[in-house]
Structure 1
Amino acid sequence: MSDNFKALEGWASGLLGNLDAKALRGMNKRLATELRKRQQAHIAANQNPDGTPYAPRLPQMRKKGGRIKRKLFTKLRTARHLKTQSNANGATVHFSPSANRLARVHQFGLVDTVNAKRGIRHKYAARELLGFSQSDDELIAEAILSQISK
């Protein structure tokens, strides 16, 4: 995927060099918002950006019985935690500092404490929360072409 992105970056840099800063800021803001919507959608569907499903939840080790009715990462995918930032030089989608630790643990499959009281540690399965898919590359290319044609 990074090869596609490098090719897209090389192609776009020459075309975007002629635009003024105001037009670039506007395009990057729209692009960041749309990319956040796409990231939220694939997190809601419990899928990695490439379409493969997330690793299933582990059985709960708690005293309460019953199943967990909520999907993974319902709060993490809200606009409160999934932020956008843009300027004339680029656009980013990132997690807020309060959600960053949890997102990093699941993004890379790191070891973290499950229960702070008991100190139980567990290695989580990697669930790619943020990432580019082929359709995201196409969205970026379309946004650039749309901006240039104005």
Structure 2
Amino acid sequence: MADTFDDLSNWLTPLMLRLAPAERAKLAREVAQGLRRSQQQRVIAQRNPDGTPYEPRKERQLRGKQGRIKRKAKMFTKLRTARYLKATGNAGAATVAFAGRISRIARVHQFGLRDRAERGAPDVQYAQRELLGFTDAERDYILDRTLAHLTL
């Protein structure tokens, strides 16, 4: 599957231009919210858009810590919430993106960049974990929602 929507865009653009701007905005909001739900479910499942699992966290050496250290929690539990993963739509576009300062953390993981885990810590190379991306099912969802909206 191509990451671009050129073929879909070429087919849908003439149809979308027939809609009033208010109708396009309504459709864009509906599509963005559906995509956000789909992205959230994929992050819960800890999967990249191509279906491969996320690379697991690296083990940390926590010296001086007493008691049990729970490391079973899944990654990105807060990032996937609606507070941080925003869905917006207007007459020109449907957008699903991370909001505020969280977008920096998401970008580091999305592209596998180097960053510090905390202030004063050494730089660490993070594994690439694609938080946002399109699957074939999401591409079909966009097409289905658009066609359903146009047939009303």
Give the TM-score of the pair, scaled to structure 1.
0.93
CA distance in 2, matches of 1:85, 1:35: 10
In structure 2, give the amino acid aligned to 1:96: A
Partner amino acid, structure 1, of 2:148: S
Q: How does 1:1-150 map to 2 (within 5 A)?
A: 1-2=1-2, 5-63=5-63, 64=65, 65-117=68-120, 119-150=121-152
Q: Which runs of 5+ in 2 are unaligned?
A: none
Q: CA RMSD in A?
A: 1.4
The CA deviation string for residues 89-133 of structure 1, in whole angstroms up to 9 with x for no partner, is 11000001120110000000000112323x221100000000001
1:3 Cα deviation after fit: 6.1
Q: Any stretches of 5+ residues in structure 1 without a counterpart?
A: none
Q: Which amino acid aligns with 2:128?
A: A
Q: Distance in 2 between matches of 1:69 and 1:132?
A: 27
Following TM superposition, where does structure 1 have runs of at least 4 consecutive aligned residues deviating by more than 6 angstroms?
Answer: none
Q: CA deviation digits over 1:43-94, x for unaligned, max 9?
A: 1110001211001110013233534131000001001110111101110000
Per-residue CA shift, 1:131-150, capped at 9, x if unaligned? 00111110111111111101
Secondary structure, aligned partner of 1:115: coil
Q: Give identity over the alignment, percent.
A: 41
TM normalised by structure 2 equals 0.92
CA drift of 1:4 comes to 5.8
Aligned residues: 149
Classify 1:120/1:3 alpha carbon distance in 2 versus 1 (closer, same or farther; 3 Å): closer
